[in-house]
Structure 1
């Protein structure tokens, strides 16, 4: 492991690894979005310290849980709805457009990768997307404005699907909900092909998503970890930096 304590050293080493890679893949977690004003889940003051997650089976089985889930979602919208892509998001979009990055696998649900210019064809959202909703029974898509209008008009009651009457849920993966098969397969294919796998802002404790960096390393890829806190995979990484993600990736956002 090379632990880059110096910011300039981290930038230079990452640049070298990208220059030598033919199939670089980024894997992002909540830490890439913290400079955008979106707190991560586990840190003090993070989302999990404020609200205990609602398991999928509870959401499906209890109307009161659906009411609470949507109340929380719209409360978050008030606080974080105006978030814009940060330097890390913009850097990955620029690296993709320049052909220096093959794809982005993300655990995030905030939609900031798309907002930065990352095309859907090169983005794998393992945990879904919180910027719209779907019916759990028929799959009908709903915009959040549709849900909110009906939620508020009903005095805080979650709306059901207009097409089939099924429960409407944000298009995210909740605890106890099956992982999306298509996205897992896409992530696995990107991981197997990677010769450089860059973890950005993930604590690497949520599985099965956290298994991809280990799979990439075992397949022979160089492993880079950019994260403020230590992870369980630091010892097997080829480079680790705990500098601020936006500081490390910022220069790459400006490169052609």
Structure 2
């Protein structure tokens, strides 16, 4: 059994994101394996949803492609079952609450446990309603990953209470998508989160370049890259392996340099 903590053990974590069933069922399995073999420390698998409030255009378009390929929550679990035959890389699902509710909270988290899915991110689940699903996550030893935004302010303590796995620090307001400039004071945001938890902190939303990754991990424990990876898959279709390997290699080199500088 893998554990999210393995992704952060003695290193800065590179976390990659893919949309399930994009470009199709079989190839999305291949691409998760490719990312893992290239050195991605943890992989988030996005479960497409009809009203993805946190997703920018690149990920929305990937979701539409996945719907054409017949994606469903059940199909995503079938995909993970195949992935687990090939790799033990830590896996986290990014899923909207309606999908979990429709599948059934107990059934959803029981299936996560059976497939060694290590955590779940539910972007439209406010902390005030987290108890509705937290008990099911706890029973199945599945981390419910909290998101902290630049506007969380005095709610940070409550959001990260009892956090495990990692804390997802949102770099920018708005939806996902590569950004050339991130104006949030991430050092302060990470520092504010650390006041209330020892859980690793990974920063996502807009991160796409090695330079950004190196800078952010001077204070954070890892970076999350979604749109940049999904865009490579969109551009390369059924032949994205080489580009994905190159991309992961460059990001990992940047994180390694940060680790060396901090020794």
The alignment's TM-score, normalised by the length of structure 1, stands at 0.32
Greater RCO structure (CA 8 Å; 6+ sep): 1
The alignment's TM-score, normalised by the length of structure 2, stands at 0.32
